């Protein structure tokens, strides 16, 4: 082990060897954070003689967990990680809950609902409560409930503090939704994080036992933890305080899904004797790329200061692409990709195109197809979200947990059994009247006076399910799934249909069967189907990404986090696009962190691209170059004219959206555009008609009503209740509000 530690730099080595008490490793981009975690675990096992089961390592992706486990086995010996608790927050807590959830009134065969299952149940609850999806969209309600859970806010507390219309409606749904989850013996993804806290409150003895069991806790990507994850980790570490967190506040980019940057910023307040190690030696990018990244992120006020240094040479300057519109922007990116391949020998797989929003991919796709450039979009529909896969998985869930009415409703008439919606309504009424589950009502349907045709269909369904349950008790996951295909006739129906779509679905189901066979071969013993379903529920898109194909990668910057490419194109660098509609300092700082992440994905060459005009909601819009470009030292940015940006003609810089092209914080609109029906945006003033009660429209948030207007001049703010987005406080000069009445 001593020899292995020689492979670490001084700071990494000290972090690995500091095994007692709280430790925070601030790992800048490309500085070897995964290496530090894996070496620390290996060091604990080999040098400190810590039993693997006493180590709990929490990650955010299954891929990261597998990579760490493999690296540790390579460092020590094959099988050295046996007994080690390493995995995602969700998978680890799901495993714990299988053992202890009976203490809070569930049974161990609970179902795990994914986002679609959750949405279906929420929609049902809204219908029962008479809440129209026109007034509050299902997605909005689902998002509000999810954020509440991630913040560990329970239904009663949330209902008490609900402030606006959407929250008040969501609060009513939240209460019933939570009750129905319990009735279905089911948890959603957020429950996997908050139910352990309920367990700890219910059983302090269990908490103390787990504290002694997990004496060493390690957390990867700590800047991405939410409130619930923070609380679970803090309570588990409270006794022995051997908590080791690795993260980078400069890469905290997930507040929209509950991540709380204050967890890492305030870590030293929680543990005042924290040993802090800053990893700033970057092994990925050239000095020029890091110079750009350091210059950008230094503008943020809320941060732990550090500056990355490179072990590489200066490399190429950054290259700025300026285009008339998004079509020409995509053309230029395609041309440079071809040039890099032909003249500099890069493979397609070494290049990536980033964009801020998914909608930007469409034009890029069209152009890359024209150029015959192979590409892959990251973030498309994943294998597990395809309809045929979700149908098969719903069968498996129901076989394990016949109280799961959501899965039952998905499969009861698939393949078609002539069990219509009207019959299902009657069956649910029959179940409710007798206080039993829907499946129990179906089994007792002969006593309910239903029509013979329906009874025959239900009898066949029950017979199939009971056969599959018996197979599941003694057989493997493969046995269950292969018999499901045969008994249900799913695959034979798809073959008989014989269309390209049906055959693709058939092939997908065969792939699921192959997965079941592989799982069965490597997971002998009881409860295999539950574990198989856990794996499916917690699978991520990136775990399925092929690594051998030669294609250009297209993705949002969020999807790019954790990846690296020799060549990176960052497109759409325009105000209101990247940064994206920021109205508060915290939002702008997160956008800047996102840009920092984009910059630091590049190893050798980095292209920055923006367009002077772009279609937005079907209308051409004049664009202003992103202020983030101006935050990079202009001496290291090369224009298409072959000059550094600092030497570019003034007219070019103004035309590119520099401050000379701004009008009260907005882009100046050329006369030619106004002549085609466009109009220059008006400057904000106190006489613009914006006042309490006025109805307005916003390009992103839609229609809304002004609640109040405060401040003067550039500091003028409007608080607005939007129909679908809830209450927002916007800076008037940037909001581009259209007064409706």
DSSP 132-155: -TTTS-HHHHHHHHHHHHHTT--H
> Cα(396)–Cα(727) distance, rounded to whole angstroms?
42
Of the residues 117, 188, 191, 220, only one is catalytic, namely: 220
Residue found under tokens 């996102």: 594
Cα separations in angstroms, 484 against 273, 492, 494: 57, 12, 14
Strands 619-622 and 613-616, how do they pair?
Answer: antiparallel
Confidence of residue 497 (pLDDT cuts 50, 70, 90): low
Predicted local confidence at residue 17, as pLDDT: 93
Mean pLDDT of 361-378: 83
H/E run at residue 91? helix 89-100
Mean pLDDT of 293-312: 91
Q: What is the pLDDT of residues 193-207, one digit of tens each?
A: 999 999 999 999 999
Predicted local confidence at residue 663, as pLDDT: 29
Confidence of residue 377 (pLDDT cuts 50, 70, 90): confident
> Cα(339)–Cα(721) distance, rounded to whole angstroms?
50
Number of Cβ within 10 Å of residue 231's Cβ equals 19
Cβ contacts of 619 within 8 Å, gap of 6 or more = none
Which residues carry a binding-site annotation?
A: 27-34
Mean pLDDT of 121-130: 93
Tell me the chain's radius of gyration from C-alpha atoms.
Answer: 28
Mean pLDDT of 345-361: 90
Report which of 552, 547, 550 is spatially closest to residue 368, judged by C-alpha positions. Answer: 552
Confidence of residue 229 (pLDDT cuts 50, 70, 90): very high
What is the DSSP code (8-state) at residue 404?
A: -
Which of these ranges, 29-43, 360-374, 562-576, has the smallest mean pLDDT? 360-374
Predicted local confidence at residue 522, as pLDDT: 67
> Cα(15)–Cα(470) distance, rounded to whole angstroms?
52
Predicted local confidence at residue 116, as pLDDT: 87
The pLDDT of residue 538 is above 60: yes
What is the average pLDDT value for the chain, to the nearest integer? Answer: 84
Of the residues 147, 306, 410, 601, only one is catalytic, namely: 601
Q: Phi/psi at 103 (nearest 5 deg)?
A: -70, -20
Confidence of residue 726 (pLDDT cuts 50, 70, 90): low
Of the residues 221, 388, 589, 590, only one is catalytic, namely: 221
> Cα(624)–Cα(681) distance, rounded to whole angstroms?
13
519 vs 93, residue with greater confidence = 93
Contacts 24+ apart (CB under 8 A), 506-512: 508/383, 508/386, 508/388, 508/389, 509/388, 509/389, 509/392, 509/485, 511/383, 512/389, 512/392, 512/481
> Cα(600)–Cα(387) distance, rounded to whole angstroms?
37
- DSSP conformation letters of 641-694: TSSBGGGS-HHHHHHTT-GGGEETTEEPPPHHHHHTT--PPPPP-TTSS--TT-
Of the residues 12, 33, 88, 728, only one is catalytic, namely: 33
Report which of 432, 553, 597, 430 is spatially closest to residue 30, judged by C-alpha positions. Answer: 597
Question: What sign for the dihedral angle of Cα 422, 423, 428, 434?
Answer: positive
Mean pLDDT of 714-728: 74
Predicted local confidence at residue 508, as pLDDT: 73
Q: What is the pLDDT of residues 264-275, one digit of tens each?
A: 999 999 999 999
Most confident stretch, 403-412, 526-535, 578-587: 403-412
3-state secondary structure 311-324: CCCCCCCEEEEEEC
Confidence of residue 413 (pLDDT cuts 50, 70, 90): confident
Mean pLDDT of 479-507: 77
Confidence of residue 14 (pLDDT cuts 50, 70, 90): very high
Predicted local confidence at residue 652, as pLDDT: 41
Question: What sign for the dihedral angle of Cα 7, 12, 18, 22?
Answer: negative
> Cα(739)–Cα(682) distance, rounded to whole angstroms?
12
Contact indicator for 626, 575 with CB cutoff of 8 Å: yes
Burial class (CB in 10 A: 0-12, 13-18, 19+), 608: buried
Predicted local confidence at residue 658, as pLDDT: 35
Which of these ranges, 16-30, 127-141, 233-247, has the smallest mean pLDDT? 127-141
Predicted local confidence at residue 527, as pLDDT: 60
Contact indicator for 455, 471 with CB cutoff of 8 Å: no
The pLDDT of residue 232 is above 50: yes
Decide if 625 is catalytic. no
> Cα(65)–Cα(81) distance, rounded to whole angstroms?
11
Mean pLDDT of 275-284: 91
Predicted local confidence at residue 498, as pLDDT: 52
Of the residues 251, 350, 360, 491, only one is catalytic, namely: 251
Predicted local confidence at residue 362, as pLDDT: 74
The pLDDT of residue 683 is above 70: no
Decide if 220 is catalytic. yes
The pLDDT of residue 605 is above 90: yes
The pLDDT of residue 626 is above 80: yes
User: Number of H helices and number of E strands within the chain?
Assistant: 32, 26
Confidence of residue 540 (pLDDT cuts 50, 70, 90): very low
Predicted local confidence at residue 492, as pLDDT: 79
The pLDDT of residue 545 is above 50: no
* Tokens found for residue 384: 């597990």
Contact indicator for 607, 653 with CB cutoff of 8 Å: no
587 vs 358, residue with greater confidence = 587
Of the residues 34, 211, 467, 652, only one is catalytic, namely: 34
Confidence of residue 544 (pLDDT cuts 50, 70, 90): very low
Predicted local confidence at residue 541, as pLDDT: 39
The pLDDT of residue 542 is above 70: no
Mean pLDDT of 628-649: 86
Q: What is the pLDDT of residues 129-173, one digit of tens each?
A: 999 887 787 878 888 899 899 888 999 999 888 878 888 899 999
Confidence of residue 519 (pLDDT cuts 50, 70, 90): confident
Predicted local confidence at residue 171, as pLDDT: 93
Which residues carry a binding-site annotation for ATP?
A: 27-34
- For residue 172, how far is the Cα from the chain centroid? 26
Predicted local confidence at residue 700, as pLDDT: 60
Contact indicator for 720, 730 with CB cutoff of 8 Å: yes
Decide if 728 is catalytic. no
Decide if 195 is catalytic. no
Predicted local confidence at residue 660, as pLDDT: 32
């Amino acid at each position: 082990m001593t020899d292995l530690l020689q492979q670490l730099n001084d700071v990494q080595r000290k972090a690995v060897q500091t095994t007692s008490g709280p430790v925070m490793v601030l790992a800048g981009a490309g500085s070897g954070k995964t290496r530090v975690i894996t070496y620390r675990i290996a060091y604990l096992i080999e040098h400190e003689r810590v039993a693997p089961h006493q180590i709990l390592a929490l990650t955010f992706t299954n891929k990261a967990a597998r990579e760490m486990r493999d690296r540790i086995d390579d460092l020590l010996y094959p099988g050295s990680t046996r007994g080690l608790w390493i995995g995602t927050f969700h998978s680890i807590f799901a495993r714990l809950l299988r053992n202890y959830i009976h203490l809070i009134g569930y049974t161990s065969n609970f179902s795990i609902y994914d986002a679609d299952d959750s949405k279906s149940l929420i929609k049902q609850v809204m219908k029962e409560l008479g809440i129209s999806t026109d007034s509050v969209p299902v997605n909005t309600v689902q998002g509000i409930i999810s954020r509440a859970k991630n913040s560990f806010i329970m239904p009663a507390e949330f209902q008490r503090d609900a402030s606006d219309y959407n929250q008040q409606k969501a609060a009513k749904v939240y209460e019933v939704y939570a009750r129905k989850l319990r009735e279905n013996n089911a948890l959603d993804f957020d429950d996997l994080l908050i139910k352990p806290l309920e367990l700890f409150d219910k059983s302090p003895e269990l908490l103390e036992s787990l504290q002694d069991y997990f004496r060493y806790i390690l957390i990867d990507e700590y800047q991405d933890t939410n409130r619930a994850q923070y609380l679970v980790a803090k309570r588990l570490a409270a006794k022995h305080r051997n908590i080791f967190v690795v993260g980078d506040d400069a890469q905290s980019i997930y507040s929209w899904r509950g991540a709380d940057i204050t967890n890492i910023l305030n870590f030293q307040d929680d543990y005042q004797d924290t040993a802090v190690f800053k990893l700033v030696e970057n092994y990925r990018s050239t000095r020029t790329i890091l110079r750009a990244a350091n210059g950008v992120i230094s503008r943020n006020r809320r941060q732990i200061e550090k500056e990355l240094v490179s072990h590489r040479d200066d490399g190429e300057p950054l290259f700025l692409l300026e285009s008339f519109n998004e079509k020409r922007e995509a053309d230029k990116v395609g041309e440079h990709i071809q040039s890099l391949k032909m003249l500099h020998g890069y493979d397609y797989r070494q290049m990536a195109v980033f964009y801020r929003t998914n909608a930007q991919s469409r034009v890029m796709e069209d152009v890359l197809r024209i150029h015959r450039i192979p590409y892959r979009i990251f973030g498309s529909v994943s294998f597990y979200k395809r309809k045929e896969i979700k149908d098969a998985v719903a069968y498996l869930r129901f076989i394990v947990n016949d109280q799961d009415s959501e899965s039952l409703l998905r499969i009861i008439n698939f393949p078609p059994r002539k069990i219509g919606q009207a019959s299902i309504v009657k069956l649910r009424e029959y179940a409710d009247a007798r206080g039993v589950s829907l499946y129990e009502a179906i089994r007792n349907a002969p006593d309910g006076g239903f029509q013979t045709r329906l009874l025959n269909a239900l009898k066949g369904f029950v017979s199939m399910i009971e056969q599959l349950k018996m197979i599941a008790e003694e057989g493997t996951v493969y046995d269950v799934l292969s018999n499901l295909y045969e008994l249900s006739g799913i695959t034979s129906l798809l073959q008989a249909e014989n269309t390209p779509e049906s055959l693709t679905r058939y092939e997908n189901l065969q792939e699921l069967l192959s997965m079941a066979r592989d799982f069965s071969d490597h997971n002998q013993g009881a409860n295999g189907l539950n574990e198989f379903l856990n794996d499916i529920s917690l699978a991520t898109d990136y775990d399925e990404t092929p690594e051998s194909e030669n294609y250009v990668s297209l993705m949002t910057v969020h999807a790019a986090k954790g990846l690296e490419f020799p060549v990176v194109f960052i497109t759409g660098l325009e105000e209101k696009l990247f940064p994206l509609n920021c109205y508060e300092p915290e939002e702008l700082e997160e956008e800047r962190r996102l840009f920092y992440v984009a910059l630091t994905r590049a190893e050798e060459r980095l292209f920055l691209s923006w367009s002077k005009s772009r279609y937005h909601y079907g209308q051409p819009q004049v664009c202003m170059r992103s202020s983030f470009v101006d935050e990079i030292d202009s001496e290291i940015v090369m224009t298409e004219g072959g000059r550094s940006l600092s030497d570019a003609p003034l007219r070019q810089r103004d035309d590119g959206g520099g401050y000379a092209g701004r009008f009260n914080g907005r882009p100046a609109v050329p006369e030619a555009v106004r002549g085609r029906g466009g109009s220059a945006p008006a400057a904000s003033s106190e006489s613009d008609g914006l006042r309490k009660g006025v109805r307005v429209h916003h390009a992103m948030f839609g229609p809304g009503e002004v609640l109040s207007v405060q401040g003067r001049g550039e500091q003028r703010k409007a608080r607005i209740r939007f129909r679908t987005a809830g209450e927002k406080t916007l800076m008037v000069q940037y909001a581009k509000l259209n007064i409706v009445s």
